[in-house]
Structure 1
């Protein structure tokens, strides 16, 4: 048995927070990625330009810098907005504060949404256009075409990139400890400082991340098999 010096509950709770943060950030990134890819492939020059600027800036600036900028900017913008509302209606004392968890989800989702945008863009382009045209010729509405034809095939092409992005998101949650979130890294840091065994508890945190990424690989393998149903494999 590992001697966690009474910090076992904190390590476990930090692991739960890390998993929740990763999954919610994945959902936000997924949605932003779909919207961004659609914008990049749209006929609107404005939408294409907006999506290009977004992906260029996000992918060109380090994640840590973006996290600190977005975290503090969000709170400043919210404070300005609430001050404006309070100035309009003096009888209302309205204030909004972002907790570290919500800020982490928004920040990670916004950052990695740029990477998902490029992944989905490539996957959309890999789907044969003839199938989409045939679906429209049969009178299928755009939403039905997306759900029945485009999305299932697109996911088959996107899964390798999505798997890589998910692994990066999972590990990037460690950065959120810098803005005060009590995740596995923060719990390990507190435990190390309290017991003077920092290397040991950071090693525990590393093993937790390794365990989570290993489980993720198994889930992603099942998803790849699901979306590969009906696809003939090449004969070597």
Structure 2
């Protein structure tokens, strides 16, 4: 039998898994969000319709249901695709589902930020015959990122806490590790309190890093 404090390394390992899931989901979710924002701002009605449906459906569906659909539905889809049993990993399902959800919110964040870029600067860049990719990367994206960063950071912290939902599919992240330690030692208060403290440390450090990023992004801009 493992001594009560023997579960502490397991809890710390769960915290590392939580961070891994959160960082991966933010990166992939940001890509989904950027593509969704560009689709919503495009001249193509089908693209706008698909992006609108994506944000409405995902934001209107509980995150837990999406996690379960991705985990079990992904296994069914891959099994039929390859003609043999293929199971989706808990980590992969967690990252994919949270990134999918995060992307829906990031779509609206990026869409609003891109529209906040002064039209005059875009028109001036077009007058200089800048190619569309260069215009987006050098003119639009840097300014849009500065506007989007506060809301993007807030949503990232929310996602970090949402990783606790992945425990339902068996991934031994922080919440599941705390649950296993609580069940084994019959001391739920102590272990769930320890998990809460670790979540607080992670969100606190994330907040500090995001504020530093915001400060750096706002260099050269006057505060009004």
TM-score calculated relative to the size of structure 2 = 0.96
Is the 1:17–1:183 Cα contact (8 Å) retained in structure 2? yes
Is the 1:39–1:51 Cα contact (8 Å) retained in structure 2? yes
- Distance in 2 (alpha carbons) for counterparts of 1:221 and 1:142: 31
Is the 1:126–1:154 Cα contact (8 Å) retained in structure 2? yes
Task: Mark the runs of 5 or more structure 1 residues left unpaired by the alignment.
Answer: 84-93
Which shifted more, 71-80 or 40-49?
A: 71-80
SS of 1:187's equivalent in the other structure is helix
C-alpha deviation, 1:4, in angstroms: 5.2
Deviations, residues 135-154 of structure 1 (Å, cap 9, x unaligned): 12223222222221111110
Is the 1:5–1:195 Cα contact (8 Å) retained in structure 2? no
Q: Aligned-residue CA RMSD in angstroms? A: 1.3
Q: Does 1:120 align with 2:118?
A: no
- Which of 107, 111, 124 is the matching residue for 2:97? 107
SS of 1:5's equivalent in the other structure is helix
Task: Mark the runs of 5 or more structure 2 residues left unpaired by the alignment.
Answer: none
Question: Aligned runs of 1:147-162 on 2, under 5 Å?
Answer: 147-162=137-152
Match of residue 26 from structure 2: 26
- Distance in 2 (alpha carbons) for counterparts of 1:61 and 1:183: 23
Match of residue 168 from structure 2: 178
Match of residue 193 from structure 1: 183
C-alpha deviation, 1:95, in angstroms: 5.1
The list of structure 1 runs, each at least 4 consecutive aligned residues, that deviate by more than 4 angstroms after superposition, is none
Which shifted more, 139-148 or 16-25?
A: 139-148
Match of residue 168 from structure 1: 158
How many aligned residue pairs are there?
A: 222
